[in-house]
Amino acid sequence: MCQRKLGLDMMNSVSTQDRSFDNGGLGNIRSWMQRNVDDRKLAGCSMLMAHKSDEVFFHAAGQRSREKALPYTRDTATRIYSMTKPITSAALMMLVERGLVHLEAPVSRFIPAFETMQALIPGAEHIDQTEPAPSPTLHQLMTHTSGLSYPFNPGILARAMDAQDLIFGPRQGRLADMVDQVAKLPLAFQPGSRWEYSVATDVLGRVVEIISGKPLDVFFSDAIFEPLGMTETSFSVPMQARDRFASLYTPLAGDAMALNEAKTGGESLRLVDEAETSPFLKTEMHSGGGGLISTIDDYMNFTEMLRQGGTFNAQRLLSTRIVDFMMQNHLPGDIASMGPQSFAEQPMEGMGFGLGGAIVLDPARVGTPGSVGDFSWGGMASTFFWVDREKDLSVVFFTQLSPSSSYPLRAEMKALVHGAMVG
C-alpha cells in the first residue's frame, strides 16, 4: 500500500508503508463499494482516506452516468449538498476570528426581516397559532436550535415552507430574497429550546455576505477555496469539470427530496438530475446550506484543514483554538435530548453538535465504531466526511444517491474503516 502526501505535492508517490492499516481490511472497503454498485444501490462512488496527512486509500467503483456508461473517477464532480454547511460555518468563524461579529449577536442585527419574530405555540395545529419570540442568535443558527426548519421535515412550519418551495434550490433566485421570505414565517419553536435540522446555514451564508461585503461565492473563493487549492469547488459546475459531472439518482418512486411522502418501489436507480441538463450547470442561488459542487480531492483539502487545526499546505484559515471550539459539543447534551422532530444527516443518540457538524459523544450510544470527538457531516446525495483527530484520520466518501437515508452507508463505512485499522 503506497502513500502520497496530500496537498501541493500530492502527485508525488511516497514509498513508505502505513502500518496502521491492514491491506485485507482495505480490500473489504473496495469489496463493499463494488457490492453496492453490483446490487444497484449506488450508480458509482469513491472514497479517499488520509492518515497523518498521507493518502492511505483511494478507490472508485461504478459509473457517474449509467445512461452513458461513464465511469465514476477520482475527478468526478458531485453535488455535495449539506456538506456545504461546514464550509459556510468555517467562513463565519473566520469573521468571528477577525472580530467582525460575535456568535451571540441576533441575526436581526444583519437581516432586519428577522427583527419581529413569532414562534408556534406548543401543540399548535395551525401556522397562525403563534406567540412572540426573540430573533435567533448566530450561535443558534449554527447549532440548528434557532426554530427554523426544512420543507422535507415533519411539522406545521415545514409544510408551510414546502408550500412556498423555500428550499434554496439552484435556480430559485437571489439568496437575500429567499432569506427574507423565510423570515416572514413563524419559528417552529422558541429559539434554543429544541434541535431541528434547518435552512439556518443558508441564513448564515447571507450574514457572511453582509459582514464581508462580498457575494458568498466570491468570499468562499477568496478566503477558502483559493488558499486550499480547491479549484473545482463552486456553486455552479466549473466549466472544466462539466464533462466529469455526475448524474443524480434515487431509489424513490416520487420526489427524491420529499421525505414526508417518500414512495418506494420500482427502479432502485431512477435518474432525477441528468448531468447534461442539471440546474447546477448555471446556478442563481448561492446556498450556504447545500449549494456547492466539488471533487473528492478538493473536499479532502478542506477536511484536512479542519483536522490540522485550521492549517493546510502552510495556509492558515483559522486558529487552532477556533477549530477546537467548533469541534466541541455546543448542545446541553446529545441531539436526541433536545426533542428533534426532523430529518438529520447523522444519528441523534450519543451525538452532539458543534459549529457546522456533528460530534461523537459516545460511540456505543451512536451504535457505530468511532472515536469520541469525531467531527462529521453529510449531504442529501449520500456524500459524507469525518475527521478523527484522535487517530489523525480524514475520510471523504462521494456518491450521488438521494436521499441519504436510503441505506445505512455511513455506519457501514465507519465500521469498515475501523476494521481496517490495526494501529
Domain assignment of residue 142, yes or no: no
Residue 320 neighbours by CB distance under 10 Å: 12
d(CA 216, CA 220): 6
Confidence grade of residue 328 (pLDDT, cut at 50, 70, 90): very high
What local confidence, expressed as pLDDT, does residue 347 receive?
Answer: 86
What local confidence, expressed as pLDDT, does residue 12 receive?
Answer: 31
Q: What burial class does residue 311 get, using C-beta atoms within 10 Å of its C-beta: 0-12 exposed, 13-18 middle, 19+ buried? A: middle
Domain assignment of residue 69, yes or no: yes
Domain assignment of residue 272, yes or no: no
Average pLDDT over residues 187-199: 97
Domain assignment of residue 54, yes or no: yes
Domain assignment of residue 247, yes or no: no
Domain assignment of residue 285, yes or no: no
Query: Is the per-residue pLDDT at 423 higher than 80?
Result: no
* Lookup: cell for 351: 451525538
Dihedral, CA of residue 73, residue 76, residue 81 and residue 87, to nearest 10: 100
d(CA 22, CA 184): 55
Domain assignment of residue 185, yes or no: no
Confidence grade of residue 10 (pLDDT, cut at 50, 70, 90): very low
Average pLDDT over residues 136-155: 97
Domain assignment of residue 169, yes or no: no
What is the percentage of the chain residues whose pLDDT exceeds 70?
A: 93
Reduce the secondary structure of the chain to three states and give it as a string. Answer: CCEEECCCCCCCEECCCCCCECHHHHHHHHHHHHHHHHCCCCCEEEEEEEECCEEEEEEEEEEEECCCCEECCCCCEEECHHHHHHHHHHHHHHHHHCCCCCCCCEHHHCCHHHCCEEEECCCCCCCCCEEEECCCEHHHHHCCCCCCCCCCCCCHHHHHHHHCCCCCCCCCCCHHHHHHHHHCCCECCCCCCCCCCCCHHHHHHHHHHHHHCCCHHHHHHHHHHHHHCCCCCECCCCHHHHHHECCEEECECCCCCCHHHCCECCCCCEEEECHHHCHHHCCCCCCCCCCCEECHHHHHHHHHHHHCCCEECCEECCCHHHHHHHCCCCCCCCHHHHCCCCCCCCCCCCEEECCCCEEECCHHHHCCCCCCCCEEEECCCCCEEEEECCCCEEEEEEECECCCCCCCHHHHHHHHHHHHECC
Beta pairing class for 270-273 and 248-250: antiparallel
Average pLDDT over residues 192-199: 97
What pTM was computed for the model? Answer: 0.94
Query: Is the per-residue pLDDT at 227 higher than 70?
Result: yes
Query: Is the per-residue pLDDT at 139 higher than 80?
Result: yes
Confidence grade of residue 15 (pLDDT, cut at 50, 70, 90): very low
Task: Tell me the pLDDT of the chain averaged across its residues.
Answer: 93
For residue 11, what is the domain's CATH number? Answer: 3.40.710.10
Confidence grade of residue 7 (pLDDT, cut at 50, 70, 90): low
Domain that holds residue 347: 3-83+221-241+290-420
Query: Is the per-residue pLDDT at 86 higher than 60?
Result: yes
pLDDT in tens, 348-402: 999 999 999 999 999 999 999 999 999 999 999 999 999 999 999 999 999 999 9
Total number of domains in the chain: 1
Query: Is the per-residue pLDDT at 294 higher than 90?
Result: yes
pLDDT in tens, 96-129: 999 999 999 999 999 999 999 999 999 999 999 9
Least confident of 53-62, 215-224, 249-258: 249-258
d(CA 178, CA 219): 19
* Lookup: cell for 208: 457572511
Query: Is the per-residue pLDDT at 4 higher than 80?
Result: no
